Amino acid sequence: MRYDIPDIDAFAKTYWDAAARGRLLVRRCGACGRAHHYPREFCPYCWSEDVTWQEASGRGTLYTWSVVHRNDLPPFRERTPYVAAVVDLAEGPRMMTEVVDCAEGELRAGMGLTVAFREGVPVFRSSP
């Protein structure tokens, strides 16, 4: 059982299948034009059901973070310490994620990040 991804229903399967292939998807509303994440079957801004999948650029900026030193839930207990973060995607929405391969002292609000994938789960690392 995978603890680090939610149960995958028929709607979310598109998102997780793309992530397994190294592609990050967001949903874009055809009515108001805004992108959103996490993926929903309707736009959370205008409630339109005219939403489609769009491949994200994979670029973002660090909005906020917390270094987690203790988490007793699998699989996180084996990963401590880790950086739980909120990233502003270049397409507009904010995404909860993890920052990897970056020392705690190097983290700065507004720093550029790029998506990476760990076992089909999108995570972010600092941009070159």
Identify which has the larger pLDDT, 99 or 3.
99
Answer whether residue 15 shows pLDDT above 70. yes
The pLDDT score that the predictor gives to residue 10 is 87
DSSP state of 10: T
Domain ranges of the chain: 13-55, 59-126
DSSP state of 3: S
Report the alpha-carbon distance of residue 22 to residue 48 in Å, rounded: 28
The pLDDT score that the predictor gives to residue 78 is 85
Instruction: Mention the CATH class of domain 59-126.
Output: mainly beta
Tell me the pLDDT band of 107, cut-offs 50, 70 and 90. very high
Averaged pLDDT for residues 18-33: 97
Pair 65, 8: CB distance under 8 Å? no
Tell me the pLDDT band of 45, cut-offs 50, 70 and 90. very high
pTM of this prediction? 0.90
Of the ranges 4-8, 56-60, 65-69, which one carries the lowest mean pLDDT score?
A: 4-8
How many alpha carbons fall within 13 Å on the CB side of residue 4?
A: 18
- Provide the terminal-to-terminal Cα distance of the chain, rounded to the nearest Å: 35
The closest alpha carbon to 68, from 34, 96, 33, 26, belongs to: 96
Answer whether residue 21 shows pLDDT above 90. yes
Q: Residue 75 corresponds to which tokens in the numbers above?
A: 């699989």
